[in-house]
Amino acid sequence: MVRVWNLFFPNVTPRAFTVLLRHKEVFLKMWKTSLIPPFLDPLFYLVGIGYGLGAMVQEVGGFSYVQFFAPALIASVIMTAPFFECAIGGYVRMYYQKTWDAMIATPLSIEDVITGEILYGAMRALLQGVSILIVISLFGLVKSPLALLIPVVCVFGGFMFGCLAISYISWIPNINYVDYLFTLIMTPMFVFAGTFFPISRLPEWAQTVAWFMPLYHVVLICRSLVTGIIHPEIWGSVIWILVVGAIAFAIALRLLRWRVVK
Amino acid sequence: MSPIIRGQNVVKKYGDFTAVNNVSFDIESGSLFGFLGPNGAGKTTIMKMIYCFVTVTSGRLTVDGKDVMQNPRGVKEILGVVPQEDNLDPDLTTYENLLTYARYYGIPKRIVARRAEELLDFVSLDKKDDSPVEELSGGMKRRLTLARGLINEPRILILDEPTTGLDPQARHLVWQKMRELKRRGITILLTTHYMEEAAYLCDELVLIDHGEFIARGNPDDLIKELPGESVVELHDVRNEDKAKIESRLNDYENECFGDTIYVYADSSRKVMDNLNGFTFARVIERKTNLEDLFLRLTGRSLRD
Ligand SMILES: Nc1ncnc2c1ncn2[C@@H]1O[C@H](COP(=O)(O)OP(=O)(O)OP(=O)(O)O)[C@@H](O)[C@H]1O
Ligand SMILES: [Mg+2]
């Protein structure tokens, strides 16, 4: 068991949690700026798009538009929270603040540090995802007790997105390239992965592309859990996230060692 | 006594560039060992290999019997590191920096609080414990980095230019602390560009140039390798006089650099007897020192 773990995820130990604790402490100092804006953002979307635009839209797959759209907001922060944290925060700590350099002079390995960063991304997804869950439940949009499983989706989904974002920064030469992650990867997913409209509206080929988008599967699961109407492909999506998450984690560890340890 | 750090044919390449070229060294436990050399010589690279920050390209490097490539965690556990570039955690306060760092070592909380206070005391930062790191001056940051390097009670302390940028008071403080740590039996590795500091502190040192060792030994012994015990410096020599002056100084080892001629001689009077008719803005007679050796061996021209 340990040997298999080490084969895929070398040098990762429970010490990674000490990195997570460091991030937690810093977060608690600045929670006003790090929690409130990302929390207000989806609220505007919910009211503006969900209710405003949604009023002009007919039902989508048997749901009112806002009912269709609200769970996708949870899914979207499961993506955006770790993307911002791991890509921008990660790059700043890696390159500008040299926080990682200081950490790996201790018994922490670079893999411990990376794991801590990704876990922190997952925690940010959890925090923001749950906040939105609470908000939409206040609007009466949570229809099933299965929504209590949303935190689990936040953690696993957030972990996967954290791995992707951290992998991305391993090969960019400067922080401006983070913009490409946002415009070429995050925004298309946010728009096309079944968030604002079902992917069945897309041409056949684009539906295939959407299936390869991690966000598509997170949206599908969130929508199933919040509405209580389980999509027939949900187990496929659960496995998709777990497998891609594990592969992305293994890749992230290797890429960042390559980037940091010369 | 067996060496606590041992390098055998250590090579470090960054791509095609060889930063450290086949060096071997033994560092005795409890000694204060210096790495000197011009900018880009490879001092930091050697230290980074010892604290497992960069890989060893070839050769073998062990710390307390543990190979740095095989068992980095075991090595790092007994090391304290003060890197050349400060990398304190700017999101935390002075005190929190120590607490957080201790956690990376897995030191129990109740021990840490006391130790952190003692260390802030030790580096005279006890009044700054609540200050964000960004509000500390450069010298205070350096001292905090030293305290941080001691949080795990290391057996070996790596100091990469610990006194660069410090005022004389802070520098003397750091020197005292280094001697105090040495008395406690801690092995100290030091790089510095201040030769008087190296001469004053080091039991043994190596002089590095272009990734190779060009001299090693005890500072006092190394100085004895110079051609004399004293140097006479002739300042503000005019270019057209240089050749004439040097021809009159055939009996003495001398070097010319810019507008100054350095003559290895025991007495300025004897030198001046040979130089009747010339006047100099300033003539200084002083004992030879490590800096003379450094400049003699590495050349006086600037490094890139
Ligand atoms: N990450 C790196 N990639 C490529 N070359 C590097 C890297 N780090 C250092 N070097 C090169 O290796 C050589 C040795 O650098 P090092 O930092 O060890 O010098 P140093 O002796 O500590 O110099 P200084 O006194 O300026 O601190 C230099 O030529 C430097 O340019
Ligand atoms: Mg250096």
Give the closest of B14, B88, B105 to A107, CB-based: B105
> Using the beta-carbon criterion (under 8 Å), do A25 and B90 form an inter-chain contact?
no
**Does residue B257 sit at the A interface (CB-CB below 8 Å)?**
no
Establish whether residue B200 lines the binding site of ligand 1, counting it when its CB lies within 6 angstroms of any ligand atom. no
* CA-based end-to-end distance of chain A: 30
pLDDT confidence of residue A163? 97
> Which residues touch A22 (CB under 8 Å, ≥6 apart)?
A116, B89, B92, B100, B103
B138-167, pLDDT tens digit by residue?
A: 889 999 999 999 999 999 999 999 998 888
Q: Tell me the Ramachandran region of residue A42: left when phi exceeds 0, alpha when psi lies from -120 to 50, beta otherwise.
A: alpha
A223: pLDDT strictly greater than 90: yes
Q: In Å, how far is A196's CA from the nearest CA of chain B? A: 38
Instruction: Write the residue with the smallest CA distance to atom 5 of ligand 1.
Output: B14
| pLDDT band, very low/low/confident/very high, at A38 (cuts 50, 70, 90) | low
pLDDT confidence of residue B7? 94
B9-31, pLDDT tens digit by residue?
A: 999 999 999 999 999 999 999 99
pLDDT confidence of residue A56? 86
Q: How far is CA B18 from CA B10, B39, B85, B283, B299, in A?
A: 11, 15, 22, 42, 21
Q: Which atom of ligand 1 is nearest to the CA of B20?
A: 14
Task: Kindly list the domain boundaries of chain B, sorted by start residue.
Answer: 5-223, 230-287
SS3 B163: coil
Mean pLDDT within A176-193: 90
pLDDT confidence of residue B13? 95
Strand partners, B213: B208
Q: In Å, how far is B205's CA from the nearest CA of chain A? A: 24
DSSP per-residue string spanning A132-189? HHHHHHHTT----GGGGGHHHHHHHHHHHHHHHHHHHHHS-SSGGGHHHIIIIIIHHH
Give the residue on B whose Cα is nearest the Cα of A102: B87
Most confidently predicted of A153-162, B104-113, B176-185: A153-162
Which residues in chain B touch residue A18, judged by CB atoms under 8 angstroms apart? Answer: 103-104, 106
Whose tokens are 């025991």? That residue is B266
Q: What is the mean pLDDT of chain A?
A: 91
> Which residues touch B269 (CB under 8 Å, ≥6 apart)?
none
Say how many Å lie between the CA of residue A90 and the centre of ligand 1.
25
Q: Which atom of ligand 1 is nearest to the CA of B211?
A: 14
B264: pLDDT strictly greater than 80: yes
Which residues in chain B touch residue A101, judged by CB atoms under 8 angstroms apart? Answer: 53, 83, 87
Can you tell me the distance from the alpha carbon of B152 to that of B247, in angstroms, rounded to the nearest whole number? Answer: 60
Give the closest of A18, A101, A262 to B103, CB-based: A18
Establish whether residue A262 lines the binding site of ligand 1, counting it when its CB lies within 6 angstroms of any ligand atom. yes
Residues with C-beta atoms within 5 A of ion ligand 2: B 44, 84
| pLDDT band, very low/low/confident/very high, at B263 (cuts 50, 70, 90) | confident
Say how many Å lie between the CA of residue B161 and the centre of ligand 2.
7
Say how many Å lie between the CA of residue B40 and the centre of ligand 2.
7
Write down the pTM of the prediction.
0.90
Strand partners, B206: B35, B216
> Using the beta-carbon criterion (under 8 Å), do A109 and B73 form an inter-chain contact?
yes
Continuous segment of H or E residues that includes residue B259:
none
Say how many Å lie between the CA of residue B84 and the centre of ligand 2.
6
| pLDDT band, very low/low/confident/very high, at B170 (cuts 50, 70, 90) | confident
A191-208, pLDDT tens digit by residue?
A: 899 888 888 888 999 988
pLDDT confidence of residue B65? 92
A32: pLDDT strictly greater than 80: no
Task: Kindly list the domain boundaries of chain A, sorted by start residue.
Answer: 17-261
* CA-based end-to-end distance of chain B: 40
A86: pLDDT strictly greater than 80: yes
pLDDT confidence of residue B236? 85
Q: What is the mean pLDDT of chain B?
A: 89
Can you tell me the distance from the alpha carbon of B197 to that of B5, in angstroms, rounded to the nearest whole number? Answer: 22
Which residues in chain A touch residue B79, judged by CB atoms under 8 angstroms apart? Answer: 105
> Using the beta-carbon criterion (under 8 Å), do A25 and B96 form an inter-chain contact?
yes
Can you tell me the distance from the alpha carbon of A22 to that of B91, in angstroms, rounded to the nearest whole number? Answer: 10
Can you tell me the distance from the alpha carbon of B208 to that of A194, in angstroms, rounded to the nearest whole number? Answer: 62
Evaluate whether B5-223 and B230-287 have a shared fold: no
Q: Tell me the Ramachandran region of residue B92: left when phi exceeds 0, alpha when psi lies from -120 to 50, beta otherwise.
A: beta
Can you tell me the distance from the alpha carbon of B7 to that of B11, in angstroms, rounded to the nearest whole number? Answer: 10
pLDDT confidence of residue A53? 86
Establish whether residue B41 lines the binding site of ligand 1, counting it when its CB lies within 6 angstroms of any ligand atom. yes
What residues 34-73 of chain B have any CB closer than 8 A to a CB of chain A? 51-55, 72-73
pLDDT confidence of residue B301? 62
Comparing C-alpha atoms, which of B123, B121, B119 is closest to residue B169? B123
Q: In Å, how far is B2's CA from the nearest CA of chain A? A: 25
Establish whether residue B276 lines the binding site of ligand 1, counting it when its CB lies within 6 angstroms of any ligand atom. no
> Which CATH architecture best describes the domain B5-223?
3-Layer(aba) Sandwich (3.40)
Q: Do residues B25 and B9 make contact, with C-beta atoms less than 8 angstroms apart?
A: no
Continuous segment of H or E residues that includes residue B164:
none
| pLDDT band, very low/low/confident/very high, at B34 (cuts 50, 70, 90) | very high
Give the residue on B whose Cα is nearest the Cα of A101: B87
- How much is the ipTM here? 0.88
Which residues in chain B touch residue A97, judged by CB atoms under 8 angstroms apart? Answer: 87, 89-91
- Write down the CATH number for the domain with range B230-287: 3.30.70
Q: Which atom of ligand 1 is nearest to the CA of B84?
A: 27
